Structure 1
Amino acid sequence: MRKISPVFFISITLAILFILWGAFLPNNLEKVSTATQTFLQEKFGWFYLITASAILLFAIFLAFSKYGHVKLGKDDDEPEYSTFSWFAMLFSAGMGIGLVFWSIAEPISHFYIPPYHIGNHPEAAETALRFSYFHWGLHPWGIYAVIALALAFFKFRKEAPGTISAIFYPLLGDRINGPIGKIIDTIAVFATVFGVATSLGLGAIQINGGFHFLNENIPNGFIAQLIIIVAVTILFMLSVISGLGRGIKWLSNANIVLAILLMLFFLFMGPTTFLLNLFTTSLGNYVEYLPRMSFRLSPFDQENSEWIQGWTIFYWAWWIAWSPFVGTFIARVSKGRTIREFVFGVLAVPTLFCALWFSIFGGTGIHIEMFGEGGIWEAMNFGENTEIALFATLQHLPLSTIATIVSIILIASFFVTSADSATFVIGMQTTNGMLNPPLHVKIIWGLVQAAAAAVLLWSGGLNALQTASIVSAFPFVFILIFIMISLHKGLKDEQIIKKNRKVF
């Protein structure tokens, strides 16, 4: 118990209080959290947009700066994992469940209810893909890259503890070991718990939707989703016990292979040429419109402003809430890589993969709506049941039942990997940065995450999951801003020390 930080007890207490609140007063929790969410979206949407873009620009600056050659580790350290395994693990941890959940639901939603243009129109189709790229592309991975860089730099090069507070040593000195450091780490853990709970909730909703789609006798509601959470929790506990090198690595490799196979199935069973043309066109549109989308809030159009708040601001808050989890995990598996290699890898490869993913999945759905039989939007209950979109689209392709089963397995596998990775990360943050947290700590956090996801579903379903992300992310935005400042100062100080050594 000596290795367990006070952050563990503070965080676990706050999380349990939240779970009890949601379990016994679900309506009150929904009311308070929704009011908080509305306030943050309306008053601080501009702050989320500016901060996310600033973080992305900072990551790109580091890659092209004089610091690009700096290794995340000692000068003679080599990468611990192969490039394929590295990409698979960071991708599985970073976007897994959400990417499957929104693969068709988001483009179809934007197609019928676009931020501008008329719905169900070719221009709306182009806009739908462009904004899907935007929400899942460079900005979220820029956020992950910066926090992961900071953690890896201070952990592997400076031999600091692997905690968020340790990043602030250049600014705070030994005060990181006091109350300020504990507050920083507690905020990071709280954001992680509810950011991951959002993703786990999405996974449970979609797995339930898939089973219901296969057999209408299986109910689509909270009880079924709770059973799914319990079942998958048992699975990821088994993965936790097996450890990082075996459980997460094997599952991550399996996830990426299964995801690619499913994507190829859509590509070759669907309108192949159309999808490849769509990918090329949409990628060009994304690059062309990226600056405009990055700062777009539409202050003169209330309806359009609400669209941005419901989609872009939600995503930016979700990625920020996920960033301590994904950042810590990516840092843990990135030892031995240079800053330039790291930034290019974390930004370019996942962004291109996400663009191809949405073009193939979302493009297939849009093609069916525009040129085929249609019916996906109706099956989604006009945007109310987004978890159905993937399965409603598969119904229009050959071997739909087999593909639906494979999709459910992929979602469950991503569920296990995300939960497994998160227990590992939260365990690190609450044991003073231990690279291999005690098993009992990881199990406790695994149960807390599952309980938080269940409570959020109980108190408001998908809306409650989105609300939790936005609310839990807000305090961490300020931490991210100071992480950039502290990382730059740490890199600058290292350059000064090197120059002084050469002089003497």
Structure 2
Amino acid sequence: MPIKPPVTELPINVAQQGFYEGFTKDVTITGKLAVGALIFWAIAFPAHAASVLQAVNGMILATFSYWYVYAMAFFMLLCFGLALAPVSGKLRLGLDDDRPEFSNFSWFSMMFGAGIGIGMLTFATAEPMYHFASNPATIMGLTEGGAANNVRDAYIWSFTHWGFAAWAAYAVVGLSLAYFCYRRSLPLTIRSALTPLFGKMLSGPLGHVVDVVAVVATVLGVAQTLGFGVEQFIAGLARIGVGDWLYATGPDGETSSSTLAIILALVVIMGASTLSALSGVGKGIKWLSNLNMGLSFFLLAFFLIFGSTFFGLTALFVGMFDYVLSIPGTLFTVWTRDGAEVGDALANWQGGWTIFYWAWWIAFAPFVGLFLARISKGRTVREYVLGAMIIPSVMCFVWFALVGGTAIDLELSGVAGGAISGADQSDQLFAMLAVMLDDGLALLMSIIVVVLLLTYLVTSADSAVLIINTINAAGDEGPKARMHILFWGAALALVVGGLILAGGLGAIRTAMVIGALPFSFVMVLMGLALIKAIYRDSLRLRHGLPTTHAAVVAAE
């Protein structure tokens, strides 16, 4: 039976003139309508939106917990399998003579900025502290919350959520896009990764649906990230003395960010990010990336020198050892409600943490994955997978161990006196700085954190706008019409603001879990398509047939 040649052409109709010149109207307009409808619903009918989103979220957690857990396990096993298999590991993401465009250091630095960023500032303190107080081991009575014997379990789950599985989700999307774009010369857009399964059918409505799902998932995934960042930005402004008006007390006595503070934060963040996106990758985004990289290493060095260094380094190495040993169990475990107190508590914990994270990484995967593909041309599959999964994971572990470890040590030793554990999630990093330093130095470091947070927020938002436009433009990074950049910048701000006003960060979390579900199916299909493509390429190599296709560049 002859081996069919791979699909090397995927024509996607784009407008040749007018407002949508260079863009796929079906994808762009549908995506705008979907996001616009969500914004209108959240702002015009906040109570109804919150209740419906919560009901759908409950249904998803009850029905699709197994799906999310097993899908993430599939991504992780697939990545390591492709990297370690001799046939696939040596394949190059590009033509045979292509070599990496960026040095290893630059490549690692860009991956660090793309996938970690804001999360480190919020969760490097908050997540170890939360799991130190409560995790499955404490629920089952194996350890005591807030005690020294619970530190190791706290880091097992912190590393589980931010480790190999998270980066496997990003790596699958990036690997699929890079493989089909640089080896097949297909457009750098999500639908291209499904060509081994659906062929040229993806030029039409099926492909449009895939790209629209990716756009909506990206908006909601980035909105979740921006939502956490906005809350922490407001907490930082309060710490440096901007004013009491940043917070409001509701009828139930609960204190939360005021509407005015949310609007101010979003105007500053999205205004700066839109200006950066308009300036392009080579100017605004590059300058901001360099700034936040420098400030990130400064902050990390501060905790390495002045934090609980021995405690943090012990947590790092013991935590990594425990984490690796725990992977076979944590990767496939699903807790479901069984009517018993412990069983229901475990299911609630997993839904609020692990399932939430898996949905977040899946929703964020089109954004980070497309970026990883853009910077990885010329690398082998083995080099790409191991670099894109292990190095960023270890950087996450370092942050969690040094920053979160300092917070835990200050609480264990009694120095903090509950000041860190009693603070809101968005305020815990600032609370720790206040415990560690005198008022003047704490103010200075808080200002540095606020500036770093702002640069990460702006970088994430402007990069997301450009990635969304790349998908809408059928993979062409060229057309970035000013009005489309302004629209998506405003849309992101309104999604974040509307959902926060509708139900706080919980509303964003709920919308994101729902939005990630359709794209999780797309990602599983991407993984299956990649397996099929690599298998077929191995047969072509065995028969001396070409496995790559160079794009034909038209003469000017």
TM interval, shorter chain, is: over 0.9
For 2:21 and 2:459, locate their aligned partners in 1 and report how far apart those are by CA, in whole Å.
29
One-letter amino acid of the structure 2 residue matched with residue 374 of structure 1: A
Matched, 1:245 2:282: yes
1:40-97 deviation per Cα after TM superposition (whole angstroms, max 9, x unaligned): 1122111111110111000011111211111112222222223222222222221211
One-letter amino acid of the structure 1 residue matched with residue 137 of structure 2: Y
Give 5+ residue unaligned stretches, structure 2.
1-19, 139-143, 248-256, 547-556
Aligned to 1:334: 376
One-letter amino acid of the structure 2 residue matched with residue 433 of structure 1: G
Q: 1:116 aligns with which of 120, 124, 137?
A: 137
For 2:534 and 2:514, locate their aligned partners in 1 and report how far apart those are by CA, in whole Å.
32
For 1:2 and 1:436, locate their aligned partners in 2 and report how far apart those are by CA, in whole Å.
11
One-letter amino acid of the structure 2 residue matched with residue 323 of structure 1: A
Task: Check 1:3–1:476 CA distance in 2 against 1; reply closer, same or farther (3 A cut).
Answer: same
Shift of 1:290: 1.6
Task: Check 1:83–1:253 CA distance in 2 against 1; reply closer, same or farther (3 A cut).
Answer: farther
Q: 2:506 aligns with which of 443, 463, 471?
A: 463
For 1:496 and 1:451, locate their aligned partners in 2 and report how far apart those are by CA, in whole Å.
50
For 2:182 and 2:422, locate their aligned partners in 1 and report how far apart those are by CA, in whole Å.
47
TM-score (norm 2): 0.87
Shift of 1:387: 0.4
Aligned to 1:475: 518
Alignment check: 8 A CA contact 2:132 2:153 kept? yes
Shift of 1:379: 6.2
For 2:522 and 2:386, locate their aligned partners in 1 and report how far apart those are by CA, in whole Å.
24
Q: 1:304 aligns with which of 343, 346, 360?
A: 346
For 1:123 and 1:58, locate their aligned partners in 2 and report how far apart those are by CA, in whole Å.
35
For 1:466 and 1:175, locate their aligned partners in 2 and report how far apart those are by CA, in whole Å.
34
Alignment check: 8 A CA contact 2:118 2:456 kept? yes
Aligned to 1:207: 233
Aligned to 1:185: 211
Shift of 1:375: 4.0
Matched, 1:318 2:318: no
Shift of 1:158: 0.8
Between stretches 82-91 and 203-212, larger displacement belongs to 82-91
Q: 1:93 aligns with which of 110, 114, 126?
A: 114
Q: How does 1:69-80 map to 2 (within 5 A)?
A: 69-80=90-101
Q: 2:246 aligns with which of 219, 227, 242?
A: 219
1:283-316 deviation per Cα after TM superposition (whole angstroms, max 9, x unaligned): 1111111211112233451112211110011000
Q: 1:283 aligns with which of 313, 316, 320?
A: 320
Alignment check: 8 A CA contact 2:132 2:145 kept? yes
Shift of 1:156: 1.5
For 2:88 and 2:133, locate their aligned partners in 1 and report how far apart those are by CA, in whole Å.
45
Give 5+ residue unaligned stretches, structure 1.
none
Any idea what SS the aligned residue of 2:436 has?
A: coil
Matched, 1:20 2:48: no
Matched, 1:48 2:68: yes
Matched, 1:387 2:426: yes
Between stretches 85-94 and 130-139, larger displacement belongs to 85-94
For 2:279 and 2:422, locate their aligned partners in 1 and report how far apart those are by CA, in whole Å.
39
For 1:292 and 1:502, locate their aligned partners in 2 and report how far apart those are by CA, in whole Å.
42
Aligned to 1:373: 415
Alignment check: 8 A CA contact 2:170 2:369 kept? yes
For 1:11 and 1:292, locate their aligned partners in 2 and report how far apart those are by CA, in whole Å.
39
Any idea what SS the aligned residue of 1:501 has?
A: coil
Task: Check 1:15–1:502 CA distance in 2 against 1; reply closer, same or farther (3 A cut).
Answer: closer
One-letter amino acid of the structure 1 residue matched with residue 286 of structure 2: K
Shift of 1:256: 2.4
Aligned to 1:417: 459
1:15-44 deviation per Cα after TM superposition (whole angstroms, max 9, x unaligned): 111101111111111111111111111221
Q: 1:496 aligns with which of 521, 524, 539?
A: 539
For 1:162 and 1:85, locate their aligned partners in 2 and report how far apart those are by CA, in whole Å.
22
1:389-419 deviation per Cα after TM superposition (whole angstroms, max 9, x unaligned): 1111111223221111111111111101111
Alignment check: 8 A CA contact 1:240 1:443 kept? no
Matched, 1:292 2:324: no
Matched, 1:3 2:22: yes
Aligned to 2:295: 258
Shift of 1:101: 1.0
Shift of 1:340: 0.9
TM-score (norm 1): 0.96
Alignment check: 8 A CA contact 2:23 2:479 kept? no
Q: Percent sequence identity over matched residues?
A: 35
